[in-house]
Amino acid sequence: MNLSKDIVVNEGSNVTLMCLASGKPEPSITWKLLSPGVNSFASEDDYLEIPSISRHKAGTYECTAVNEVSADVQTVEIVVNYPPSVSESRDVGASVGQQAVLHCEAEAEPPADFEWYKDDKRIFNSFDGIEIDNTGRLSMLTFFNVSEVDYGNYTCIATNKLGSANTSTVLYEVIEPTSSTLLQERYDGSPEQCHGFLKQCELVFGCFPHLYQTEPAKIAFLLALLTSPASIWAMASWRKHLEISYTEFRSKFEVVFGPPSPTCTAGDRLLH
């Protein structure tokens, strides 16, 4: 079998692959691109024509020559060069002192070289606590200790010999919430506000798990935000059941102060 050699072409080129085979009886030729989900290419002669080749047609092509006696299989590689195309980047938020990572992803052949800029100023690796890590088609700009001067607009430029593409992303400041900023209003026992108040308490527990690891800590936080008459009932109830879990305390709290159930009388609510 006489087969074309491996080739490198630019996207949009016309490609002709040759596969010459002889035998008796005359062998039939079948071409196949060895990629998942791609159909075989059949040719009655010894040539496979690929007009205006795209990047999706790059890869290993297999030529099989078959007759009634035997089969011969050989492969040829096609590399398709194309300019970079970058994925849209997401803006990233971080608080002062935190770590933040900006991502830039580009498809290109040959693989792209990456450059990062803040406004019009190029950023270099290991500059002011910033690290640039380029791996394959991904470039990451990492801030190990975000400061006020780091916030702003960043541009990633991906370049190879056929062209370039860019994308921009914003590093913006996130104000770290505290227990007091997340939940400032106190609760007086209003049924309409009961579920919302409890959900806000649990939002605080989720944001600060290290502060509210125990059941008593959660209950104490809730109690501190109550005013009369809710605080009077809650303190009395807790003193009677000091070993109660937060989930159990919450259930009793909802029965007393939540919107009344059609099957629950005022007397039933007070018994809790």
- Render pLDDT for 212-231 as a digit per residue (tens, 0 to 9): 888 888 888 888 888 888 88
Predicted confidence at residue 227, as pLDDT, reads 87
CB burial readout 18-48, b (16+ within 10 A) else e? ebebeeeeebebbbbbeeeeeeebeeeebeb
At position 205, the amino acid (one-letter code) is F
93 CB burial (10 A radius; 0-12, 13-18, 19+): middle
* pLDDT band, very low/low/confident/very high, at 246 (cuts 50, 70, 90): very high
Rg, Å, the chain Cα set:
34
Give the list of residues 6+ apart from residue 251 with CB closer than 8 angstroms, or none. none
Tell me the average pLDDT of the chain.
86
Q: How far apart are CA 269 and CA 263, in angstroms?
A: 11
Q: How far apart are CA 5 and CA 75, in angstroms?
A: 9
Mean pLDDT on 116-139: 89
Comparison of pLDDT for 239 and 168, the residue scoring more: 168
Q: Are strands 163-173 and 92-94 parallel, antiparallel or unpaired?
A: parallel
Domains 2-81 and 87-173 share a fold: yes
Architecture, CATH, for domain 2-81: Sandwich (2.60)
218: left (phi over 0), alpha (psi -120 to 50) or beta: alpha
Predicted confidence at residue 271, as pLDDT, reads 43
Flag whether pLDDT at 37 surpasses 70.
Answer: no
Residue positions counted in the chain:
272
Q: How far apart are CA 123 and CA 106, in angstroms?
A: 18
Flag whether pLDDT at 267 surpasses 50.
Answer: no
Give the start-to-end residue ranges of the domains of the chain.
2-81, 87-173, 179-271
Tokens of 1: 């079998």
Portion of the chain with pLDDT greater than 70, in percent: 88
The residue behind tokens 């690290």 is: 131
Flag whether pLDDT at 266 surpasses 50.
Answer: no
Flag whether pLDDT at 268 surpasses 80.
Answer: no
Predicted confidence at residue 77, as pLDDT, reads 94
Does the CA dihedral 89-95-97-98 come out positive or negative? negative
Flag whether pLDDT at 101 surpasses 90.
Answer: yes
- pLDDT, one tens digit per residue, over 158-177 is 999 999 999 999 999 887 65
SS3 26: coil
Query: Lowest-pLDDT range, 9-18, 78-87, 111-120, 125-134?
Result: 125-134
* pLDDT band, very low/low/confident/very high, at 41 (cuts 50, 70, 90): low
Flag whether pLDDT at 104 surpasses 80.
Answer: yes
Domain 87-173: homologous superfamily in CATH: Immunoglobulins (2.60.40.10)
Flag whether pLDDT at 44 surpasses 50.
Answer: yes
Mean pLDDT on 167-188: 74
Give the list of residues 6+ apart from residue 170 with CB closer than 8 angstroms, or none. 91, 92, 152, 153, 154
Flag whether pLDDT at 270 surpasses 50.
Answer: no
φ, ψ for residue 124, nearest 5 deg:
-110, 160
At position 117, the amino acid (one-letter code) is Y
Predicted confidence at residue 244, as pLDDT, reads 87
